[in-house]
Structure 1
Amino acid sequence: MNMISYWKGYEEIHTDDGMVLIIGWYDHKNQHNGGNKALGVHWGDYPQSRGVLSPCVIPEATRSAILSGLLHQAVSSTNLQQVESITKAISFFHSHT
């Protein structure tokens, strides 16, 4: 399924029972010169807009809580692949590019 054009340079960072978290640049209605860094969520091919996958943007405070919780879960379960993926997402939001 195609991703809505508002999401640019996105990457899946976590999947849990059909829920998919992505990171990337979100540019609402392509009006903000490339957009802002964002965490998004979708479930398979939901939600859609006119047959195009349209992940929801997670607010910044909630984004931090989700990533923190996922990192704790990954460390507690010694899931090194998940630790790497969540750490990459956290670094994405803290980098200046």
Structure 2
Amino acid sequence: MKMISYWKSPKEIYSDDEFVLIIGNYDHLNQDNGGYKALGVHWGNYPQSRGILSPCVIPDSTRSAILSGLLHKAVTEGDIQKIESITEAITFFND
């Protein structure tokens, strides 16, 4: 499914069933000269706007808690692929 143009260079960093987290630059209404770094969430093909996937933006403070919790879970489970993906997301926001 096509993603709304407000998300620039989105990349999926975590998936659990239909729950999907993405990172990328978010530029609401394409008015912010490329936008800002953001964590987004969607569930399969929801939410949509006129048939186009429209992931929700996660606030910064919540973003940190989500990424920290998911990293802890991945380390506890020894899931190297998820550790690398979540670490990439953390690095994305720290650069």
Residue in structure 1 matched with residue 63 of structure 2 by the alignment: 63
Report the alpha carbon displacement of residue 30 of structure 1 after superposing the two structures with TM.
Answer: 0.2
Residue in structure 2 matched with residue 52 of structure 1 by the alignment: 52
The 2-side partners of 1:82 and 1:14 are apart by 7
**1:40 lines up with 2:75 in the alignment:** no
- What SS does the aligned partner of 1:45 have? coil
Report sequence identity in percent: 71
Q: Residue type of the partner of 2:74?
A: A
Superposed CA RMSD in Å reads 0.4
TM-score by length of 2: 0.99
Stretches of structure 1 lacking an aligned partner (at least 5 in a row): none
- What SS does the aligned partner of 2:65 have? helix
Residue in structure 2 matched with residue 81 of structure 1 by the alignment: 81
The 1-side partners of 2:90 and 2:7 are apart by 18
Matched length: 95
TM-score by length of 1: 0.97
Q: Residue type of the partner of 2:16?
A: D
Stretches of structure 2 lacking an aligned partner (at least 5 in a row): none
